[in-house]
Chain A
Amino acid sequence: MIGSSLSRWTMAFFTGAVIFLIAAECLMVAGYGFPAMAAEAPETLLLVHTVTIGWLSLLMCGALLQFVPVLVVQPLRDEILVLPALLCLLAGLTSLLAGFLGLTGMLDTDIPFLLIGGCLLPIGFGLVLWTLGRTLWQARPLPLPARFVAVGLTCLAATFLLGTFFAHILSGLISDAVMIDFRTKVLPVHAAAGFGGWLTFTAIGVSYRLLPMFMLAPDAERTTNHIVWWSGSIALLSIIMGAPVEFILAGSARIASVIAGLSAMVALVCYGFDLFFFYRNRKRRNIELNSKSAIGAFAALYLSAALLLNLLATGTFANHAGALIYLVAFGWLTGLGLSQLYKIVPFLTWLECYGPVMGRKPTPRVQDLMVERRDGPWFVLYFAGLLGGTVALLADAPNLFRITAAMTLLATAAIVIELVLARRLFNVAAAVRFPEGTTRPHLFLPAIRNH
């Protein structure tokens, strides 16, 4: 393990995350949950939380534990809490999923799984929030990318507080009709805080650092960066704080939604300019597969915005919200996640393995850990499946959706296998794989530096 700059448990978070992603994709291929069943069915809840907590949130937590210290150039505070956090999240999610399984009638037990999940998950997220929050707090004034993360973490807190409230309602502890009515009204707030704040806003913030780093583009702060942060923050504040208040006072959240929608559009337009700027002004002429495949994710983000506007304009939002969520979760967030894992995993593996001998022995390059030519087609297949799946959902064709889901599953599995091969340094010529003084990195458990 090179120094303390490598987050010890990040690979374990990533491993848990991809296992849940593959599991979720298998469920979709099998026709479990939406669109074969209703959006409100417990099966759909199980699928949605496998994706949002199991895959996306674990991925984001693992990435932030690695990158927040880099963003603020400070060591992670209270690192000792990271492993308990991971264990709470894994146990909490398993309980939550078991709870949903109980709601479907598949699992007949007296154990209050929903409630256990509803307690363990906030503890797990709370511990992650504590370590990251304290690290950010010590590093004030924050650089811009870290400010995005700070807002994202606040939204994470809002998401799981609402989620815990829902878990109490679903487990029957709260049976007050007003509260149950309130639940349906703030469900969109839960989704917006999770997808828009915690996952999207944080991903945007981290991309402001990662994209210039990997493409050698200028990363000085520009006006548009600040507009993205301000308008995005206003949109999130309006939806998380404004909408519930407006519900209580006026029974609807029209004003808050309009403010949030307009600010979010401003943020997306400015972010688009920034993305264009990074790709246009990069010093590396040949961009690597991670930056190339990320374009698919950015395209999905803008396609999602266009789809949202179209659904609102045609008044068909309620019918097709599933397609929109699928495009955001699997196009934008998963697309970006897989494309960045494709760089981050080899990079961390390289540092872990070759860091100790760097400068003393010839080492392979980071690029030598992957074979881009072999892996490019998998990303193409992934985004093709994603597009097909979105169309299938819009056309209400569940069987077509299962076929396209099989395409994304195949592509994901192939990319994950390539990441495992990178961890095993499989693509590095055997003769130069382990120079003297290096140790083989574990697949997901942290290594202890042997000197």
Chain B
Amino acid sequence: MTIPHRDLDVRPILRDGGEPFSAIMEAVAELAPGQSLRLLASFKPIPLFQVLGAHGFEPVSREIGGGDWEVVFTPAAAPAPVVETSDSVDHGLGDDWQVPAREIDCRDLDPPEPMVKTLEGVEALAAGETLSALLPREPLFLFEELKARGHEWRGGFEPEGHYRIVIRAGSRGEK
């Protein structure tokens, strides 16, 4: 890779009790084509792997001492494999899907709360915006409801066993 890494150290943000997600996404949006992002964090940022995976980045992580981690997200030549998509998604990956506007964690909610929270988030999106949600299991009922409302989704299981779904709000959703 001829282009140098872009470095982002989110440890100060984390130390101040802040949420580094938006900073990371801004940095990703500013990457040159083919450029990698080197992220320094005070923990292994596993949730990011799938979010950036959906954008075609492959993570390589290593512990750099003191509990800190360095992760290099390299844009993959081929799209990262995504287990499932809604029928309406017919593009390749990493095309016109925006960086998720929000990320919500529903892993500890009992059914049907994960679906309620996710749909609430989706309803707040403008057409074309995306939302990323962590769910305790594969959301069969949610898939159907998203389809009925004209939204698109991509999702898959993460190594920890939960399900991550990224939803893009459609314009033909029934409002």
Residues of chain A having any CB pair with chain B under 8 Å: 2-5, 69-70, 73, 213-214, 216, 219-220, 283-284, 347, 350-351, 355-356, 358-360, 363, 366, 449, 451
Q: Which residues of B contact A219 (CB under 8 A)?
A: 137
User: Does A69 contact B140, Cβ atoms closer than 8 Å?
Assistant: yes
Whether A355 touches B111, Cβ cut-off 8 Å, given contacts A213-B137, A220-B161, A360-B123, is no
**Count of chain B residues with Cβ under 8 Å from any Cβ of A?**
25
Q: Which of B110, B118, B145 contacts A216 (CB 8 A)?
A: B110
Give Cα A451 to B6, complex, Å.
49
Q: Which residues of A contact B108 (CB under 8 A)?
A: 216, 283
Closest to B119 in A: A359
Whether A359 touches B120, Cβ cut-off 8 Å, given contacts A2-B144, A5-B144, A216-B110, is yes
Give Cα A451 to B123, complex, Å.
17
> Could you write out 30 A-B pairs with CB less than 8 Å apart?
A2-B144, A2-B145, A3-B141, A3-B144, A4-B144, A5-B140, A5-B141, A5-B143, A69-B140, A73-B138, A213-B110, A213-B137, A216-B108, A220-B161, A283-B108, A350-B112, A351-B141, A355-B141, A355-B145, A358-B112, A358-B115, A358-B116, A358-B120, A358-B145, A359-B118, A359-B119, A359-B120, A359-B121, A366-B111, A366-B112
Tally of A-B Cβ pairs under 8 angstroms: 60
**Which residues 119-162 of B sit at the A interface, judged by CB distance below 8 A?**
119-123, 136-138, 140-141, 143-145, 147-148, 161
Q: Say how far B159's CB is from chain A's closest CB, in angstroms.
A: 12
Give Cα A69 to B122, complex, Å.
25
**Which residues 85-125 of B sit at the A interface, judged by CB distance below 8 A?**
108, 110-112, 115-116, 118-123
Q: Say how far A315's CB is from chain B's closest CB, in angstroms.
A: 48
Q: Say how far B109's CB is from chain A's closest CB, in angstroms.
A: 8
Interface residue? B174 (CB, 8 A):
yes
Whether A216 touches B112, Cβ cut-off 8 Å, given contacts A5-B141, A351-B141, A359-B119, is no
Q: Which residues of B contact A363 (CB under 8 A)?
A: 116
Q: Which 6 A-B pairs have the closest CB atoms?
A: A3-B144, A359-B119, A359-B120, A359-B123, A5-B144, A358-B119
Q: Which residues of B contact A69 (CB under 8 A)?
A: 140
Q: Which residues of A contact B112 (CB under 8 A)?
A: 347, 350-351, 358, 366
Closest to A343 in B: B111
User: Does B110 contact A284, Cβ atoms closer than 8 Å?
Assistant: yes
Q: Say how far A142's CB is from chain B's closest CB, in angstroms.
A: 15
User: Does A214 contact B116, Cβ atoms closer than 8 Å?
Assistant: no
Q: Which residues of A contact B118 (CB under 8 A)?
A: 359
Give Cα A366 to B116, complex, Å.
11
Whether A451 touches B136, Cβ cut-off 8 Å, given contacts A358-B145, A359-B119, A359-B123, is no
Closest to A365 in B: B113
